[in-house]
């Protein structure tokens, strides 16, 4: 054991920045509030076959049961103890999920809430998902056990310390530029969540504040983000898709499906950072004075019991699970990122506005038309000559393409026509989509 710990300490100089996915797998997905049994199935039937590297799971530890409002999503972030039983499942189901996912090369990343316990507004004898006793107001959590002597009240920079731990692989640090807690303070722990990424990209795709996609040529550190090898990036997360956390109104979510797919497509094609895809559930929104008063709502359930993630004949999900990771455009861009991994950012083109394109060496090329007019341009792709299947509009199946075919000439050029009214106004081709 001592030898193992010594090796760990020496390796920490670089290992904390490595996502630890299997080689050739470059993205993870957050299956927010999924049951452990459903995640185990999804690893085997979908995530592994399409090259997802891992799953971020919701906090697995014992949490308080909140009944007002009824079983909100955020009760998962109100720990009572570190026992492994939640509405997602028990310890045996958690262990089975980890084993099954790892057996097919999909890693599990735990949203581990270790910097705080349940809030003091919950009184004595509060019920928890494991049946543990607690008295949050008096800082008593005997199932850990913690007492008032174990707390550090008033000594942190922010009320919560400003950080929630994602194991050793990424720290959730909300730093939009004006916070007292800075992202670089946590580089020693591992990658940090770059919240500016989704906020800025959403502003560009929405064309707010005079932003244009042509300005994305120096995307990444050139926009004031943390270094690429320190960043975990995402378009939205469980917090800011509800207007919480960080990012504000510019954040794109599944509710904005057309723009959202473009944003996720751009993220997965661009080399900056390590990418995480969101997988959500629907809830009944109710906007009053510009605010969704139902933003607290927990996962689809029957009397508090989380519903199974059912799969429809068209491979989408039922029971109000959105499953953005199963959308063809997003799933195929996860594959795209795997195919172009390690290739340089290349062959940038733009029209000075919102039509842009870029390549990833000689392995992939992507084109966007976010303008208010159609696009028709011949562009240098950097790809070998041949006919390629656009993985946004279709799939390569048995050597044929179910979507748009793109013909690359001997000199690497190809003609792209994209209507500004297209359902998905972008095209992506890569080495493995060649017919």
By mean pLDDT, which of 45-49, 180-184, 256-260 is the weakest?
180-184
pLDDT band at 115 (very low <50, low <70, confident <90, very high): confident
Mean pLDDT, range 234-241, rounded to an integer: 95
Residue 10: pLDDT above 70? Answer: no
What is the distance between the alpha carbons of residues 158 and 179, in angstroms, rounded to a whole number? 10
Section 329-335 average pLDDT: 98
Confidence class of residue 202 from pLDDT cuts 50, 70 and 90? very high
**CA–CA distances in Å: residue 176 to residues 103, 186, 251, 269, 309:** 38, 15, 13, 24, 34
Q: Is pLDDT larger for residue 147 or for residue 184?
A: 147
Residue 309 has pLDDT above 90, yes or no: yes
Tell me the pLDDT band of 189, cut-offs 50, 70 and 90: confident
Kindly report, residue by residue over 149-166, the tens digit of the pLDDT.
Answer: 888 766 554 444 333 333
Q: What is the pLDDT of residue 185?
A: 73
Q: What percent of the chain has pLDDT over 70?
A: 88
Residues 6 or more apart whose CB falls under 8 angstroms from that of 341 comprise 24, 26
Q: What is the average pLDDT across 405-421?
A: 98
Peptide bond into 269 cis (omega under 30): no
- Averaged pLDDT for residues 181-193: 76
The mean per-residue pLDDT over the stretch 335-341 comes to: 98
User: What pLDDT shows up at residue 171?
Assistant: 52
The pLDDT of residue 123: 63
H/E run at residue 98: helix 91-103
Most confidently predicted of 148-162, 180-194, 383-397: 383-397
Picking from 111-115, 166-170, 350-354, which range would have the lowest pLDDT averaged per residue? 166-170
| Per-range mean pLDDT, top range of 110-124, 131-145, 150-164, 405-419 | 405-419
Mean residue pLDDT of the chain comes to 90
Q: For residue 2, name the pLDDT band (cuts at 50, 70, 90).
A: very low
Mean pLDDT of 131-147: 90
**75 close to 23: Cβ distance less than 8 angstroms:** no
Residue 244: predicted pLDDT: 81
For 282, 331, 369, 425, the CA distances from 262, given in Å and listed in that order, are 20, 13, 9, 8
Choice between 150 and 74, residue whose per-residue pLDDT is larger: 74
- Inform me whether the pLDDT recorded for 256 exceeds 60: yes
> Does 5 score more than 60 pLDDT?
no
Residue 176's pLDDT band (cuts 50, 70, 90): low
Q: What is the pLDDT of residue 9?
A: 38
In the predicted model, is pLDDT for residue 125 greater than 90?
A: no
The pLDDT assigned to 26 comes to 98
424: burial class by Cβ within 10 Å (0-12, 13-18, 19+)?
buried
Measured in whole angstroms, the distance separating CA 116 from the mean position of its chain's CA atoms is 23
């Amino acid at each position: 054991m001592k030898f193992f710990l010594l090796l760990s300490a020496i390796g920490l100089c670089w290992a904390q920045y490595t996502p630890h996915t299997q080689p050739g797998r470059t993205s993870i997905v957050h299956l927010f509030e999924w049951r452990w049994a459903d995640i185990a199935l999804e690893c085997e039937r979908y995530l592994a076959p399409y090259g997802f590297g891992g799953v971020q799971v919701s906090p697995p530890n014992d949490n308080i049961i909140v009944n007002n409002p009824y079983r909100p999503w955020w009760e998962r972030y109100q720990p009572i103890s570190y026992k492994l039983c939640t509405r997602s499942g028990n310890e045996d189901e958690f262990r089975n999920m980890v084993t099954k996912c790892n057996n097919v090369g999909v890693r599990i990343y735990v949203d581990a809430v270790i910097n705080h316990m349940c809030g003091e507004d919950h009184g004595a004898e509060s019920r928890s998902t494991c049946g543990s006793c607690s008295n949050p107001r008096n800082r008593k959590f005997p199932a850990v056990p913690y007492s008032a002597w174990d707390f550090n009240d008033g000594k942190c920079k922010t009320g919560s310390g400003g950080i929630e731990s994602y194991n050793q692989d990424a720290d959730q640090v909300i730093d939009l530029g004006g916070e007292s807690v800075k992202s670089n303070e946590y580089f020693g722990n591992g990658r940090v969540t770059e919240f500016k990424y989704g906020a800025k990209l959403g502003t560009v795709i929405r064309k707010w504040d005079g932003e244009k996609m042509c300005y994305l040529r120096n995307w990444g550190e050139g926009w004031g983000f943390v270094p690429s090898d320190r960043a975990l990036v995402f378009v939205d997360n469980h917090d800011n898709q509800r207007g919480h956390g960080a990012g504000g109104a510019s954040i794109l979510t599944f509710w904005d499906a057309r723009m959202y797919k473009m944003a996720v497509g751009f993220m997965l094609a661009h080399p900056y950072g390590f990418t995480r895809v969101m997988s959500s559930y629907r809830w009944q929104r109710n906007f009053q004075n510009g605010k969704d008063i139902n933003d607290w709502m927990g996962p689809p359930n029957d009397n508090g019991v989380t519903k199974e993630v059912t799969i429809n004949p068209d491979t989408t999900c039922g029971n109000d699970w959105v499953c953005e990771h199963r959308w063809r455009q997003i799933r195929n861009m996860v594959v795209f990122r795997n195919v172009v991994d390690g290739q340089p950012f290349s062959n940038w083109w733009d029209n000075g506005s919102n039509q842009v394109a870029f390549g990833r060496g000689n392995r992939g090329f992507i084109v966007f038309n976010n303008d208010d007019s159609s696009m028709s341009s011949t562009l240098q792709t950097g790809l070998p000559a041949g006919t390629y299947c656009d993985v946004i509009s279709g799939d390569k199946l048995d050597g044929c393409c179910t979507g748009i075919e793109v013909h690359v000439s001997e000199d690497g050029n190809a003609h792209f026509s994209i209507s500004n009214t297209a359902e998905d106004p972008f095209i992506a081709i890569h080495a493995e989509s060649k017919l």
